[in-house]
């Protein structure tokens, strides 16, 4: 949407702004819209909610109201807590009754990794989105990780958490590696059940796997990544702009991939494990076939 808005030429002598908006498929009012800065108190509460979620993702709105008042002196009602968490894209983990069947446009896929031996890079990739608090607003970070080596293959940042953010991170991962995974695991968020995301994976002939509802442990490696990147980069430096945030994340992910040893990898780095291991399935490493898929 923002890209199309920027195409409007306000001083064009031949085509009126109304006609341009009609041709571009955008609302006339969106051209002059200026985003209202978010309330500073709401930003502070979101920061606390985000930190609390990393400590205990099972807390519901009732308990969070108690914690906010007891530990931070914030008097807040439950409905506001629910609204702020909804804006952040997070919810408490708990068992939910199966009361409805999703329609074809948002089909859910089974979890394929249970009891699966992941023995090589590019056998399984995973992805997720996390909320990024900033002094003057907020952003969202999406990263694609190789399940075997824990290497972050691609990532993207946006001020919205739409499917476009996820597709951008996926595109960077494909471009950076020149590989296509056999299985791609995500949660059941609307971005990953959308027709655009599912269609892209099917075009690449990738098997689709999704976590069980409320089963954050099914995607535990990338959940652990969020804890590290937030406490070591995002909370520590509080970048004021998206440009500064991206520059900081670029350095952090490079250090994470190429410098920091992982005990579960025999104290090797994710990049070294990803580079040394060679997939046994030649069909996944044929350069011509890969380029046809990711083009």
Report yes or no on 101 lying in a domain.
no
Q: Report whether pLDDT(135) > 50.
A: yes
Of 222, 224, 216, 186, nearest in space to 95 by CA: 216
In a domain, 70, yes or no: yes
Domain extent at residue 73: 40-88
Residue count (the chain): 295
Band (pLDDT 50/70/90 cuts) for residue 290 is: low
Q: Are residues 27 and 137 in the same domain?
A: no
pLDDT digits (tens, 9 = 90+) for 194-204: 999 999 999 99
The number of beta carbons lying within 10 Å of the beta carbon of residue 81 is 21
Residue 95 counted as domain residue:
no
Shared-domain flag, residues 265 and 140: yes
pLDDT tens per residue, range 231-265: 999 999 989 999 999 999 999 999 999 999 988 88
For residue 282, name the pLDDT band (cuts at 50, 70, 90): very low
Q: Are residues 212 and 257 in the same domain?
A: yes
SS3 of the chain: helix, strand, coil, percent, to 5: 50, 15, 40
Q: Bigger pLDDT: 106 or 126?
A: 126
Residue 98 has pLDDT above 50, yes or no: no
Q: Is residue 227 part of a domain?
A: yes
Residues 145, 55 within the same domain: no
Is residue 145 in some structural domain?
A: yes
Sequence-separated (6 or more) residues with CB below 8 Å from residue 16: none
Question: Tell me, what CATH number does 157's domain have?
Answer: 3.30.420.10
User: Quick one: average pLDDT of 136-143?
Assistant: 91
- 115 and 247 housed in the same domain: yes
Strand partners, 208: 184
Torsion of CA 52, 132, 223, 104, to 10 degrees: 110
- Of residues 152, 174, 176, the one with CA closest to residue 249: 152
- Same domain assignment for residues 84 and 53: yes
207-210/152-158 β-pairing:
unpaired
Q: How confident is the model at residue 99 (pLDDT cuts 50, 70, 90)?
A: very low
Alpha-carbon distance of 203 to 188, in angstroms, equals 20
Output the pTM of the full model: 0.76
- Secondary element (H or E) of residue 202: helix 195-203
Separation of alpha carbons 128 and 142, rounded Å: 6
């Amino acid at each position: 949407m923002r890209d199309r808005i920027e195409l409007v030429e306000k001083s064009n002598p031949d085509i009126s702004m109304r006609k341009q908006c009609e041709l571009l498929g955008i609302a006339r009012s969106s051209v002059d819209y200026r985003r209202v800065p978010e309330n500073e108190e709401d930003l502070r509460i979101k920061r606390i909610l985000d930190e609390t979620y990393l400590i205990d993702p099972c807390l519901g709105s009732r308990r969070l109201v108690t914690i906010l008042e007891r530990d931070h002196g914030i008097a807040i009602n439950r409905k506001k807590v629910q609204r702020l968490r909804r804006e952040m894209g997070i919810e408490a983990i708990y068992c939910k009754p199966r009361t409805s069947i999703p329609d074809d446009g948002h089909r859910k896929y089974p979890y394929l990794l249970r009891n699966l031996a992941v023995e090589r890079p590019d056998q399984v990739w995973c992805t997720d989105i996390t909320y990024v608090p900033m002094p003057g607003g907020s952003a969202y970070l999406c990263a694609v990780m190789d399940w075997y080596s824990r290497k972050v293959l691609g990532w993207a940042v946006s001020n919205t958490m739409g499917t476009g953010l996820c597709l951008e991170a996926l595109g960077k991962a494909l471009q950076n590696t020149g590989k296509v995974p056999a299985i791609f695991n995500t949660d059941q968020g609307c971005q990953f059940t959308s027709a655009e995301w599912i269609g892209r994976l099917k075009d690449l002939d990738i098997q689709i796997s999704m976590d069980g509802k409320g089963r954050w442990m099914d995607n535990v490696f990338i959940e652990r990544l969020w804890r590290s990147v937030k406490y070591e980069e995002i909370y520590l430096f509080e970048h004021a702009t998206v440009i500064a945030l991206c520059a900081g994340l670029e350095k952090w992910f490079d250090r994470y991939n190429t410098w920091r040893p992982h005990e579960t990898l025999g104290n090797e780095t994710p990049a070294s494990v990803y580079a040394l291991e060679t997939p046994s399935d030649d069909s996944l490493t044929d350069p011509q076939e890969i380029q046809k898929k990711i083009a």
